[in-house]
Amino acid sequence: MNTRHKKILNILSDRRKVAVNTLSEKLDVSQATIRQDLTLLESKGFLRRVHGGAVFDETDDISHRMGVNYEKKLIIAKAAVKYVDEGETIYIESGSINALFAKEVVKEKKTTTIITSNAFIARQIGKEAEGRVILLGGIYQPESECLVGTLVRECLNILNFSKAFIGVDGFSETTGFTGRDMMRAEINSEIIQRSPQTFILTDSSKFGQITLAKYCDAKDINYLITDNNLPKEYFKIFKKAGVEIIIPESE
């Protein structure tokens, strides 16, 4: 993805819908060039073309959500790779940041074994990974491409991993980390209990949000990797819980 593509996604993140002529003026390139850019970004699943422009779909589809605040998410994903050791076995949960993180892991830590319950992540890294990619079995959720249910837990009973990287939909001091899907929440709670080290990867927009199902409390994780817009009151909450906060510098 080139610099102009990132700028298009940033503009679209602010507006959710943008016209070709607006992008052309802001980026100082022809409308024909912008149309080509939008076609390419649509082919990668980052956005959807509409008459005269493009939109982000309000969906649980990971590829579409990857485009929202793309640069912030990529910075978080790259920061998380520094905590992966060559050759170790890690668990990567669903989510747009985790999808970007998985791609960075297979580029930078080539002998890592990745366990995931998300078919999108397994599919996007499967051809690039030199280490093993283990996709857990279970009930398939088409929109999010997650696998959930009893079979996932049975698979977890025979596997070991040293670190888990989890995405969330919300956090508050009273509810802890939460997600929109109850079945995914059950799996994530068990993974967090089993993992020797747990990392939460999320952008700061999730703080103060409360969603349906609880994953865990702040004290149950080891690291939080987020962006520099994390509200100040949360630093005290996580420090008290013994969580190390990692805020990577912008590139």
- Please state, in angstroms and rounded to a whole number, the distance separating the CA atoms of residues 31 and 169: 36
Mean pLDDT of the chain: 91
Residue with tokens 């990857």: 66
Asked if residue 65 is part of any domain, the answer here is no
3-state secondary structure of 245: strand
More confident residue, 45 or 153: 153
pLDDT band, residue 212 (cuts 50/70/90): very high
In degrees, to the nearest 5, what angle opens at C-alpha 184 toward C-alphas 183 and 190? Answer: 100
Asked if residue 186 is part of any domain, the answer here is yes
Domain of residue 132: give its range.
70-246
Asked if residue 251 is part of any domain, the answer here is no
The predicted model gives 161-165 an average pLDDT of 98
pLDDT band, residue 55 (cuts 50/70/90): confident
Same domain, 50 and 98: no
pLDDT for 63 equals 65
Examine the fold and report which residue of 58, 78, 93 is the final residue of a domain before the chain moves on. Answer: 58
Enter the pTM of the model. 0.82
